[in-house]
Structure 1
């Protein structure tokens, strides 16, 4: 099936007039298209419903009106947005087998994925800071994490990445694209798009590294610093039950951080030579689909308050 697309030659005269790309997604397994469609449709419904429920209970349940759950509600809403940028398009491609995407749609999709990815990096950092203040400085916690501060931190997380990522997307899509227009991926991500650009992409690659360091590595290091402080504080607690309780409030967040940052760091910060289409797809599936699917589970299974709020909602 991929040969069907390969034979389409772009017109020679104006190479950037190639206004359409083709997302190959899972074209190499033609027999599995409907199975994959069914699987990803179920995954999409699970992600939207589970994150939607968490978002709802953090808004409606009086017991969950604390900074920690305010951030968790925002994270759940973010996950719904994040997955809605990539999965519906992939489902459409799998069901219709029409895989073309216009240059503008591709750029828009990339920009949204990058902006929401940056927001998630920053929001996970804010959540680590929240846990750090709660455990290391409990007496000042209500003062430090006032409602106004929480709103500012969330707004900052959502907005900070926007100008940077719009600039980055604009810079990538102002490159000339000649020759192939086949994106060996299931959405418009940076590595597969840069492969299609002709001419020198060194400046763009450096920009990708700089932005990744700024938006992925710096927040990740801040999270590590927060957890360093948290762990040293927990170890000083006199009672074993106190230590266990403190650890359990952090374990879910740490799991989410490891899942999301691990795959994002490998995708955007590994050397270009080690990029392979299969590896890129697997990593992207990890941070765009696996993380949003597991986050509600990670946060609710270990959390008595969330389970109690869920019971209340179901009883109603």
Structure 2
């Protein structure tokens, strides 16, 4: 934007585009409270208008303008901005409301997350690509996921945000029960890593149907009755489910005493050839090398779990 100013604007001349710049339904109870507050203290924060050639478009302040109409104001204080593009206006409509008690601050973390994904992700990814084309390194400060979380008022790291994106993918692809999704979305501070692990195991069909149905029943009861006591133990149910599955898959101490597992990391593309040579050497010693799936990649670093098993272990 090139400049901005504050002036009183006739309410009847303001163009409203709620389908684009108002991201949640109006909070009617909030409007009543805000109206009384404005009557007592005045309008402390002007609304935000995007001035174009022939119109002033309301970007932020849909609750405040409703209050002004109820008080029969003819004009309202407004901060006038001159955005260069609709993308800038859209971004401002979210950022200026991220901490507002009648919009984002009143919404669940999941509703904020969905707005960040549906509205802002494309904008922020294009910005990151533009920085890279200009030869600027995309540092932690400019990681897309971290910027998205901050824009909608979520105090998440880029790691936690990326985990939540994986959870959303699991929910979409696996048709997870609505009661389970509701419990996740309505939990104030969910253990994201724990939920991700359970949903990924369910997607891979590693959870027995009986145990999963028991967990769904707990979620249904919480969703139906808003049972705070059960909600308080929800993480416990998740941990029990994860623990039961881990115990089922972990071999006994007698079986693992003659084996060792290492996490191998590398940045060199020649690592697969080195791994093959290692297998041949171990084969001559009658050792077995087990490789856990495909290598995982984090930027330019690859990692993979490798287990060495002695001949005594195999017998």
- TM range, smaller chain: under 0.3
Higher RCO, 1 vs 2 (CA within 8 Å, ≥6 residues apart):
1
* Structure of higher CA gyration radius: 2
Structure having the higher helix fraction is: 1
TM-score, normalised by the number of residues in structure 2: 0.24
